């Protein structure tokens, strides 16, 4: 990968790809929720993708520590791992929901649960273009803009990763795996 993305045509294509992904991902996820595949047991996935969210949160903290220590190589690796884990999470999440009935929360902390779930879902949609543009700015070598965007991207991404784990912990007792 080039450290700088300066060709205007490539930059335009990268931006179009980010906009396209930012629109397509939530639409595809919503559409796939309507697909139900029978006789496929992926009941292990919620625990797995919650773990992925937890590891993503850890890698994001490690990326932050690495850049504070001016270790750009380690920072880049942790961010790339976080991006890959986020993609893996998304694939597992969709696969599970395409093969399973919805689980309803039945605990006493209903308001907290739904606040976390709704904010998690909304911010998980919003974080896609924000993180991808932040990454693009670093790829371009525009570190000033990258740094400005990171002030929003990092906390949002971290929140989404952590609330994914918390939401799983709260709903896990109500899964009915038979």
Residue 161: pLDDT over 90: yes
With 0-12 CB in 10 A as exposed, 13-18 as middle and 19+ as buried, what is 32?
A: middle
More reliable by pLDDT, 128 or 6: 128
Domain membership of residue 2 (yes or no) is no
DSSP conformation letters of 16-74: HHHHHHHHHHHHHHHHHTT----S---TTHHHHHHHHHHHHHHHHHHHHHHHHTT-HHH
pLDDT over threshold 90, residue 102: no
In this structure, what CATH number is given to the domain that contains residue 104?
1.20.120.80
4, 20, 49, 106, 173 from 110: Cα distances, Å: 48, 35, 22, 7, 14
Residues 46-51 have a mean pLDDT of 96
**96 assigned to some structural domain:** yes
The answer to which of 47-51, 62-66, 174-178 has the lowest mean pLDDT is 174-178
Task: Please indicate, yes or no, if residue 48 is contained in any of the structural domains.
Answer: yes
Rounded to whole angstroms, how far apart are CA atoms 85 and 36?
Answer: 25
The boundaries of the domain holding residue 58 are 8-174
* pLDDT-wise least confident of 60-69, 102-111, 114-123, 162-171: 102-111
Q: What is the pLDDT of residue 176?
A: 78
pLDDT for res 3:
45
The CA-CA-CA angle for residues 158, 138, 29, to 5°, reads: 50
For residue 81, tell me if it sits in a domain: yes
Quick one: pLDDT at residue 5?
63
Which class for 45: exposed (0-12), middle (13-18), buried (19 or more C-beta within 10 A)? buried
Please report whether residue 3 resides in a domain. no
Global pTM?
A: 0.90
Number of domains in the chain: 1
Both tokens assigned to 86: 């986020």
Domain-embedded: residue 1: no
Tokens of 91: 């694939």
* 155 part of a folded domain: yes
DSSP 111: H
């Amino acid at each position: 990968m080039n450290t700088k993305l300066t060709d205007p045509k490539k930059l335009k294509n990268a931006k179009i790809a980010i906009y396209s992904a930012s629109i397509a991902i939530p639409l595809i996820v919503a559409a796939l929720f309507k697909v139900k595949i029978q006789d496929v047991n992926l009941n292990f996935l919620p625990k797995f993708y919650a773990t992925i969210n937890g590891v993503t949160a850890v890698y994001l903290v490690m990326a932050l520590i690495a850049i504070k220590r001016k270790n750009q190589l380690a920072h880049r690796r942790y961010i790339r791992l976080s991006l890959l884990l986020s993609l893996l999470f998304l694939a597992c999440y969709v696969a599970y929901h395409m093969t399973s009935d919805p689980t309803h929360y039945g605990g006493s902390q209903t308001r907290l649960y739904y606040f976390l779930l709704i904010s998690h879902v909304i911010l998980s949609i919003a974080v896609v273009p924000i993180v991808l543009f932040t990454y693009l700015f670093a790829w371009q070598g525009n570190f000033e803009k990258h740094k400005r965007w990171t002030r929003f991207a990092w906390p949002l991404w971290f929140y989404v990763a952590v609330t994914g784990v918390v939401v799983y912990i709260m709903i896990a007792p109500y899964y009915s795996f038979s």
